Structure 1
Amino acid sequence: MKIALLCTQDNGGAGRAALRLHKGLNQIGEDSTFYVKRKTTDSYNVVEMRPAEYFEQTLKYLQKCFSNTYEGNTICSAMYPGLGVRNLERLQNFDVINLHWIPGLVSLEDIPTMHAMGKPVVWTLHDQNPMTGACHYTHGCEKYKFDCSDCPQLKDNLLDVPKAIIKAKIRDWPKDIVVVTPSRWLANCAKESAVFKKHRIEVIPYSLETDIFKPVTNNEVKTSLEIPENAKVILFGANSFAEKRKGLPELIEAVKHLQTDSRVQQLLAANQLYIVSFGYPAPPLDSIGIPYKTVGYTIQEEMLVRLYSTADVVALPSLEDNLPNIMLESMACGTPVVAFATGGMKDTIKRGKNGFLVPLRNTKTFAKRLIDGINGGHLREYCRKFIEEKYRLDIQAKKYRELFQDLVKAKDA
């Protein structure tokens, strides 16, 4: 089959996830082309596709509308400017069109145009944006189940733009577009949404390169950060902790509870416990009482593998999330994960085997489970085995191939 994958970028959480599917499909013999707005990788058959110039005034207006979110809320975005006629014509020769994270690449109006080509359209969701009027995570708001009126994330919403957008999605998008979600949580959101409640919805988890993300034995990270060789390391990471849903305040609270434990106090007295982060630094952690080091923002896989392998446990304090790459990458490198019981974490973390789930916002228990993780060397073997058995590239790719073949046969019939 000739398969077209479309995503705004080939990096970041959604971009990397889509790129891995692209790699997996080619590995199992399918002809996948990955179209992106901004190309950063030299991977095979990744092609830049520049959006059309029209809709510029619409885009500027919507950007102004969605740039006034309350502090700490998620990003809001609109599906503009769009592909344009020439780019859409490039998709004519494919058997299947698979959309991913597409703000700024594919417009709302492009979707029915693609569908009119007679190709099956599959949309892999990476967050809630396709089913909302603007936001990518709803912060508990349930208006996406109805009409997204009076959006609580926007300071100024005089024309009720999110309501108009979700109305257009419900009215204009064909109901036989198939939705794929990486987590059961996101599938349930889609089933309850006003946009996708009548659509076929499948759950197919992400995958990753188990030949790249694997345990390595080295202390280069500790040496470069001036951490003693035998010290325990708690690792966490995110592109940015500015969003409330990333859980930085909850992590800080958990670290405070952590320091009341006698075993942790002994480690600190002996200079044997450190917190390390990657992504943009989180200044509030500079004065929390536990030595804090950061390697800054990095997308280098070799560095990420070393960080995961060096850590004793990964802290994932997200309050809302789909199926974080960090969780899968960490386990692939043999490192257990402590996370709040939300999103795709509930699908993946098996208590006492590859990590620990904690009731949402229960920071005391989060601290206790971090201690269990620090002392969880016996979990490493299962972490690796679990990823090898369930999250290899070929496992995900074969599930998508089966879905694509089913849809193509149905179209032919």
Structure 2
Amino acid sequence: MVLQLSTFHWEGGAGVAAARLHQALRNSGVDSHLMVSEISGSGPQTTAWADSAWKSKMAWGNFVMERLSFLPYEKDKSVRFAFSPAAIGVDIADHPLVRQASVIHLHWINFGFLSLKSLEKLFALGKPIVWTLHDMWAFTGGCHYNRGCERYLSHCCYCPYLRKPGEYDIAFAQFEKKCNLFQGAPVTFVSPSRWLDNLVQNAALTNGMPSQAIPNCIDTELFKPGNRDEARKAFGLPKDKKLLLFAGANTQDPRKGFTYFQQAMHHPDLADAEVMVLGKGKADDFKDMPVKTHFLGKISDTSQMVQAYNAADMLIVPSLEDNLPNTIMEAMACGTPVVGFDTGGIPEMIDHWKNGFVATAKSAASLSEGIQWILKCDADGSLSADARRKVLENYSEAVVARQYSQLYDSLLHG
């Protein structure tokens, strides 16, 4: 039995990716179980650690204590959730599912679910550990994305996320703890993108440890092309306008690069286009957009998400740092081309000038060029067809589940 461990369940990019992989593995015949901190949706063989009212309160308390442990050190509010000390977590080493598992598969486990001490106890069991990385946290002194800092390549210290960076700051201390944690640990790292796998192989903490790249997966029978007019009608959107979609769990996160999209839309050739925004936020956040903007809010219902992708002419992803964004995979599965910055794993997903456009990072002008190119070149639907084909060949459930099954077999049987 393979036990997947994730803080979130069908929430956030990492939580969605973990739940999708669990589903794909079960559909391919693998005995996969998923344990999350708290369940946020139904699913077979899915267990919440917080399976009682008392444990739910404890899970919330752990989250609060984890954030409070960082509060005295944080530079400002903008980095509050961008650094995890992993000082608080639960001990699951004796949980029946952990004891039964042949392979333990970690995903994103921060925010009070598993601490460094929790991981140490899991590693001590001696079972094969697969750790799918959804950001950089596993090999840094605490940050989830490095924002240009490269000290993780040697030894974290003088952390730019901290109010008082120093030679022996908490980033230095966490780095040391992870160094001890990884000594002889039975861990194989998996990165959804080749970009992240390259970082793993070069990072001081993980250099020399087993690693490989296996992408996230998606249900291509669920995310698929649909009727555009019907999708627009469902949201009350105009049928005769070019609609550009921006989607993100937190639209106001600077890492998502919305300001570059806003600047790109000032081009006179895009004056007649309109924008759809999907995610956390409020309508007032987008009052400065130079074109009409339709704020759809946060959508959790999958069928509505599919309709949103089908309503759009394209998806815009100006992320400054990202791994393998679910939104790109979802849009392309629906036959919706994507314009994205040349950052992280984005250029691995978008084939430039074939099924989308890879824009120069931090260039609003290049982003604008890409938007105009897709509007011009997808008139016959060829880009849309190629986008869908890319997902079917690389990110479908069967393709990804097969790669993970081979990895599990190699760890268990050599």
Fold match, TM over 0.5?
yes
The amino acid across from 2:6 in the alignment is C
* Percent of aligned positions that are identical: 30
2:173 equivalent in structure 1? 164
1:297-376 correspondence runs (5 A): 297-375=298-376, 376=378
1:176 to partner: Cα distance: 3.7
1:212 equivalent in structure 2? 222
Contact map agreement 2:71 2:80 (CA 8 A) in 1: no
| In 2, Cα distance between equivalents of 1:26 and 1:131 | 30
1:3 equivalent in structure 2? 2
- Structure 2 unaligned blocks of 5 or more: none
Contact map agreement 2:280 2:297 (CA 8 A) in 1: yes
1:222 equivalent in structure 2? 232
Deviations 1:241-273 (A, max 9, x none): 3332210121111112xx323xx34xx2xxxx2
Contact map agreement 2:314 2:337 (CA 8 A) in 1: yes
TM-score by length of 1: 0.90
**Size of the alignment, in residue pairs?**
399
1:76 equivalent in structure 2? 83
Contact map agreement 1:73 1:139 (CA 8 A) in 2: no
2:395 equivalent in structure 1? 391
Contact map agreement 2:20 2:218 (CA 8 A) in 1: yes
1:140 to 148, 153, 156: 148
Deviations 1:376-403 (A, max 9, x none): 2321111112211211111111101100
| In 2, Cα distance between equivalents of 1:243 and 1:56 | 20
1:3-152 correspondence runs (5 A): 3-10=2-9, 11-50=11-50, 59=66, 62-65=69-72, 67-69=74-76, 71=78, 75-84=82-91, 87-88=94-95, 90-103=97-110, 104-152=112-160
| In 1, Cα distance between equivalents of 2:68 and 2:165 | 12
- Structure 1 unaligned blocks of 5 or more: none
Q: Does 1:247 align with 2:257?
A: yes
Give the SS at the match of 1:47: strand
Give the SS at the match of 2:212: strand
Deviations 1:184-236 (A, max 9, x none): 11111111212111211110001101010001104345335543212111001
- The 1:55–1:242 alpha-carbon spacing in structure 2 relative to 1, beyond 3 Å, is closer
- The 1:83–1:73 alpha-carbon spacing in structure 2 relative to 1, beyond 3 Å, is closer
1:294 equivalent in structure 2? 295
Moved more, 225-234 or 20-29: 225-234
| In 1, Cα distance between equivalents of 2:213 and 2:88 | 29
Contact map agreement 1:66 1:154 (CA 8 A) in 2: yes
Moved more, 239-248 or 121-130: 239-248
Q: Does 1:185 align with 2:195?
A: yes
Give the SS at the match of 2:78: coil
Give the SS at the match of 2:268: coil
- The 1:352–1:331 alpha-carbon spacing in structure 2 relative to 1, beyond 3 Å, is same
Contact map agreement 1:129 1:136 (CA 8 A) in 2: yes
2:404 to 377, 400, 405: 400
| In 1, Cα distance between equivalents of 2:72 and 2:80 | 14
**RMSD over aligned Cα, in angstroms?**
2.3
Contact map agreement 1:4 1:98 (CA 8 A) in 2: yes
Deviating beyond 4 angstroms after TM superposition, the runs of 4 or more aligned structure 1 residues are 51-58, 85-89, 156-159
| In 2, Cα distance between equivalents of 1:395 and 1:383 | 17
1:187-202 correspondence runs (5 A): 187-202=197-212
